[in-house]
Chains A and B, each alone.
Chain A
Amino acid sequence: MAEKETTVITEAEKILDRENIIAKAEEVLDQGYDGIIGLRKRWGHVSPYLFTTKDELKELELEPRYNLATFVRQLKNKWPDARLGIVSRGCDERALDKLEELGVFSKEGVVFIGITCSMEQAEECNCEKPIYTPLDCTGCWKCMEECPKDAITRINVCPILVPDQFNLGLGQRKAIYLPFPQAVPKKNVRDPNHCLRITEKLECKGCENACEAKAIVHDMADQIVDLDVGAIIVATGLDFYDVSGLEEYGYGKIKNVVTAMEYERLTSASGPTLGSLDRPSDGKVPHNIAFIQCVGSRDFRCEPYCSSVCCMHATKEAMMAYEHEPGTKSTVFYMDMRAVGKRFQEYIARAKSDYNVTYIRSRPGRIEVNPENDNPIIWYEDTTTGEIKKFEAEIVVLAQAMIPQITKDLAEILGIELDENGFVKTPGGFLQPLDTTKPGIFACGYVHSPRDIPDSVTQASGAAGRAAEEIASLHSQGGK
């Protein structure tokens, strides 16, 4: 830890370099800006000042704690057309951002000369973000653009390529990457397990060299944040049961057997194939798709429970295939078609009548491969006739079981119990459906029980309502 702190100071000192900042300020004046706002030290006193000549800049002061935001705002209000440079720390710019949000300040005509505070200064201010630059990642992704897939031999960009877990390994990504296309905030992150610099394999500066915003700081460390709260809601969602253990279906061995989530990524516009359903073996778009339900669900070898949402998502996926490629034939092998929500039965009926979807009640026993065309062949019993039949499809989609996503560690930290399947346990009783075994902590969504979106959203509001009750009772007791 101590070692890391020293490096932060070194990094900071580098940016704090007076000469550098003054040089930048002069550059701004040269460009015809009306002045530079900064702190000036004169006769032992420090105050905000508008530097208009290069000469004055030798009195520029960088250390003491004065926030320039108010001064900047007043100046800008008085002379809205003024073009100004601002020697700003992280806190200055954040304050101005806020003012801009409130509509009382405009950044137009303003250029920032960013400085990083020293560790001492940060400690004095009790500041969490003394480093100016990381706040500055503009999301320009120049670092990514500079980073084409074949860039492995280039030294000035990230040389690492690893499977992209958001696309379930169907595509690749760099060790500096955007977690997923609609990530909030939309900023790149580095992969601590693969980045050469973080894993200390190489003094790599690839992304650092490419980043125009100088947003990459190698020595950032995790922070521990203390929060004082009256209630907690657990909404950690779901994960997927690993179906490669179910050897009869050959997942992982037979190329054209994919999971439902992989299918979703393949058909997603932001997925690895940009929405084209290219089957894994040869990239051809299949027109004959089979869906197998309850893979790992309702199965004593795996998860005994019903995952509750797969009947509907398989139907939706079959309908999507038809929308992408009209004429596509889909066949769903199921045990019970659990379409219990509003308009669900009608949805299934529409899939049959308008989207060429056939439902066969059967739990297939085995999948083989047709060696000629890599098509999977499903062996199943037709339960209406008792015959053993086979069905050849171009791709098979397995509705893998879904499991609650919560670690034992997190449950232990929270002090809540999990049931034998790993879902958050409720205390029992009909009136506390969203409570956990610890008062003040509530749960909702898939980590609570297998639920679809409408039910999960309902539970979310319900858990918030219970939390509001809890907090109201804390208030009426006069504090925590």
Chain B
Amino acid sequence: MEEPRIGVFVCHCGRNIGAYVDVPGVVEYVKGLPNVVHAERNLYTCSEEGISAIKKGIQEHNLNRVIVASCTPRTHEPLFRSACEAVGLNKYLFEFVNIRDQCSWVHMHEPEKATEKAKDLIRMGVAKARLLEPLEEIEIKVTPSALVIGGGVVGMGAALNLAAQGFEVHVVEKEPELGGTLRSVYKLYPTNEEATKVTNPLIEKVKNDPKIKTYLSAKVKEVSGFIGNFDVVVNQDGEESKFNVGTIIVAIGADKLKPTGQYGYGEMPNVLTQLELEERMKKGEPVGQNVVMINCVGARVPERTYCSRICCMTAIKNASLIKESNPKAKVWILHRDLMTYGVDFENYYRKAMELGVRFIRYSLERPPQVIGDGKAEEIKAYHELRREEIELPCDMLVLTTPLIPAEDNQDISKMLKVSLDEFGFFLEAHLKLRPVEFAMDGIYICGSAKWPTDVTEGISQAYAAASKAAGPLRMGYVKPEAINALVNEDKCSGCGICELLCPFQAIELQPRDGKRVSHVNEAVCKGCGTCGAACPSGAIAMHYFTDEQILAQVEALFS
């Protein structure tokens, strides 16, 4: 191996690092480390200036290892790797040291210690970089079709977009018909169009599209494989279909909270949820002369802290519809903050006030009370602006409840090996930068399965997820990371522990020269290292994280 020539680029990240870590001091220190032939600092190493500094550094100093000490590999590693590649340095000769999340952010109030820790971490990075070796990536073919789980309006939107781009799509819907939640919704804000007028043409289009195959009353039973080559088993009425897809979109929507035990729900016949009210209005059943609605029932409370985004507008819509069909009716909305963000919602809210819908603000400290024997007859509430207790006559009490994670979320997250967030909704790869992707390659998320969304937002997300899912399909191939497990067959005893433990089913035992040895499917292996840690004979090494490299880091830490 040629003598390592390491270049270290330390980033100020504006004030993010520079204000807490003594960056010039760190650079001086780093210059004295073994094999470091160049060290410099940049205001933002990720800026164009920083990237050209890396390229220039590699060329001028003939660097064969590059270290950037900055923020997080999660967002910036690809960028710095590609800078190395651009000037002919294998990207696996790049090492990332995170001195923002691990130093300046967590030790904001102890800058000296933050600086010392930055030096330690870079010293460890240098120790590892000296032992890095170039790795090559394999190319995997992609099956040009997709699976959409969920046949609601969002899933159908995604499927149609993919089909229009020329790809085959399998749509799996657990109910006997397409349409999802919108099947029980009456009208849609902000245009008050009937939900069926939106869903019916969409369902027709999906059914008639030759590129889309729909499975109704069906569940995805099993998914194995990896981006480009997912093997899918669908169970439809006991019959199994198997097919192969390149990418997967999750669009399974959400459930509505049933507020049993709150405000008489489940005990009093005239206490409904908004969705039950809509079903009633859809059938043309009377709703009464005095209607009271209570918002945030089961939302923005200690046991469920989040705001479900769409409920304020749902309440205002239903209140407006009641007033429009019966101007003499009295409708009150008891609310907390009103989430009518944007242009259309704010207009809609104003129009509701003009229609005569009454808005009364309540606080969590003094929630409304239901008065009545057997049924809700009167609602007592503290009117915050008037600063007095008021009593509202009530023929019907409508509770506005949040969307909650669908029951299937757990199963699907396990099956696809994607994560859920702390609320139980699906967790996107990055809240801001990768909002419709999962951390797992080739799987995408849209609609209320990720976070409560209305129809227009959900459809926008559907197109976004379809756009992302179409990328690999159009490309025709993917190149997974070369960071994966490597088996030394001579050492392997064929015990099979690795096969058992691998969370990605990437390992299988194969016969070799009369014995069974562990074999790693590079395309499936995610480089998690579980097998390497577990192997009793030390036969499994991780590319880019070899024992030698990690021990060198540990030694560097305590040297």
Q: Contacts A308-B342, A340-B339, A345-B306 known; A459 to B460 CB distance under 8 Å?
A: yes
Residues of B within 8 A of A183 (CB): 48
Residues of B within 8 A of A476 (CB): 166
Compute the total of residue contacts between A and B using a CB distance below 8 Å.
176
Shortest distance between the CB of B56 and any CB in chain A (Å) = 10
Residues of B within 8 A of A247 (CB): none
Contact of A430 (CB < 8 Å), options: B19, B188, B421: B188
- A428 and B342 CA atoms in complex are apart in Å by 16
Asked whether A298 lies within 8 Å of B346 as measured between CB atoms, the reply is yes
**B157 within 8 A of partner (CB):** yes
Residues of B within 8 A of A30 (CB): none
Residues of B within 8 A of A186 (CB): 47-49
Q: Contacts A421-B343, A462-B463 known; A453 to B432 CB distance under 8 Å?
A: yes
Asked whether A430 lies within 8 Å of B435 as measured between CB atoms, the reply is no
Q: Contacts A270-B43, A465-B463, A466-B463 known; A450 to B342 CB distance under 8 Å?
A: yes
Residue of B nearest to A384 (CB): B384
Which of B112-120, B214-222, B449-457, B479-487 touches A?
Answer: B449-457
Shortest distance between the CB of A137 and any CB in chain B (Å) = 12
**B493 within 8 A of partner (CB):** no
**A306 within 8 A of partner (CB):** yes
Shortest distance between the CB of B389 and any CB in chain A (Å) = 15
Contact of B341 (CB < 8 Å), options: A108, A270, A306, A461: A306
Asked whether B14 lies within 8 Å of A269 as measured between CB atoms, the reply is yes
- A314 and B210 CA atoms in complex are apart in Å by 50
Contact of B464 (CB < 8 Å), options: A306, A323, A465: A465
Asked whether B300 lies within 8 Å of A345 as measured between CB atoms, the reply is yes
**A344 within 8 A of partner (CB):** yes
Q: Contacts A457-B435, A461-B467 known; A340 to B161 CB distance under 8 Å?
A: no
- A350 and B339 CA atoms in complex are apart in Å by 20
Residue of A nearest to B108 (CB): A323
Asked whether B463 lies within 8 Å of A434 as measured between CB atoms, the reply is yes
- A445 and B157 CA atoms in complex are apart in Å by 20
Asked whether B305 lies within 8 Å of A349 as measured between CB atoms, the reply is yes
Which of A49-57, A201-209, A372-380, A467-475 touches B?
Answer: A467-475
Residue of A nearest to B13 (CB): A269
Q: List 27 A-B contacts (CB under 8 A).
A: A186-B48, A268-B14, A269-B13, A269-B14, A269-B19, A275-B14, A275-B15, A275-B19, A305-B347, A308-B342, A336-B339, A338-B337, A345-B307, A384-B384, A428-B191, A430-B455, A431-B198, A449-B342, A449-B343, A453-B432, A458-B460, A461-B463, A461-B464, A461-B467, A462-B462, A465-B165, A466-B463
Taking Cβ atoms with an 8 Å cutoff, the residues of A that contact B are 100-101, 103, 106-108, 139, 181-186, 268-270, 274-275, 298, 304-306, 308, 323, 326, 336-346, 349, 383-386, 419, 421, 423, 428, 430-431, 433-434, 449-451, 453-455, 457-466, 468-469, 472-473, 476
Q: Which 3 pairs between the two chains have the least Cβ-Cβ distance?
A: A269-B14, A465-B467, A461-B464
Taking Cβ atoms with an 8 Å cutoff, the residues of B that contact A are 12-16, 18-19, 43-44, 47-49, 52, 59, 86-88, 108-109, 153, 157, 161, 164-166, 188, 191, 193, 198, 202, 300, 305-307, 309, 337-347, 350, 384-385, 387, 421, 425, 431-433, 435-436, 450-451, 455-457, 459-468, 470
Known: A103-B87, A345-B300, A469-B165. 20 other contacts (CB 8 A): A101-B86, A185-B48, A186-B47, A269-B16, A269-B43, A304-B347, A305-B342, A305-B346, A323-B108, A336-B338, A336-B339, A339-B307, A385-B387, A430-B459, A434-B460, A449-B344, A458-B435, A461-B467, A465-B161, A472-B164
